């Protein structure tokens, strides 16, 4: 495993009706849902370290804590950046932030764990 601090990735999306709080059941407004925003942050963290993982390895989310500061309407482009800040064995700690243009719309931390894909799935 060749994972090092500072690895980062930005994942982007254009908010669709399927990403809204109404569609996901997390609210009753036609705006980007918090679950969709958190998923974008997790995606960025997953992709930040994916190229550095060993054969058969992946990461799974363990915890996420984030604000959701401003609403985004369908059609808005939202980008989430995850940066690896700490490594403790298999535990990876990320700083995450999301922006719509230059406006910060969410920020927080995300914890992922490196796992062997086959062993992880065998536990199900």
Angstrom CA distances, 103 to 13, 21, 41, 49, stand at 15, 20, 16, 26
Angstrom CA distances, 72 to 47, 95, 104, 106, 111, stand at 23, 21, 11, 11, 25
* Spatial CB neighbours of 42, under 8 Å, sequence gap ≥ 6: 61, 64, 110, 112
- Return phi, psi of residue 8, to 5°: -145, 155
| Catalytic status, residue 34 | yes
Selecting among 42, 97, 100, 107, the annotated active-site residue is 42
Interatomic CA distance for residues 121 and 80, integer angstroms: 28
Selecting among 34, 58, 85, 109, the annotated active-site residue is 34
Selecting among 9, 20, 68, 107, the annotated active-site residue is 68
Q: Which residues belong to the active site?
A: 34, 42, 68
């Amino acid at each position: 495993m060749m994972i090092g601090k500072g690895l980062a990735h930005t994942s982007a999306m254009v908010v669709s009706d399927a990403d809204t709080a109404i569609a996901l059941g997390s609210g009753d407004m036609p705006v980007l849902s918090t679950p969709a925003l958190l998923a974008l942050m997790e995606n960025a963290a997953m992709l930040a370290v994916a190229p550095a993982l060993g054969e058969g390895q992946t990461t799974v989310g363990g915890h996420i804590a984030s604000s959701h500061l401003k609403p985004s309407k369908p059609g808005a482009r939202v980008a989430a950046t995850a940066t690896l800040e700490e490594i403790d064995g298999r535990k990876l700690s990320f700083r995450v932030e999301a922006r719509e243009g230059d406006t910060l719309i969410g920020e927080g931390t995300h914890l992922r764990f490196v796992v062997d894909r086959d062993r992880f799935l065998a536990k199900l």
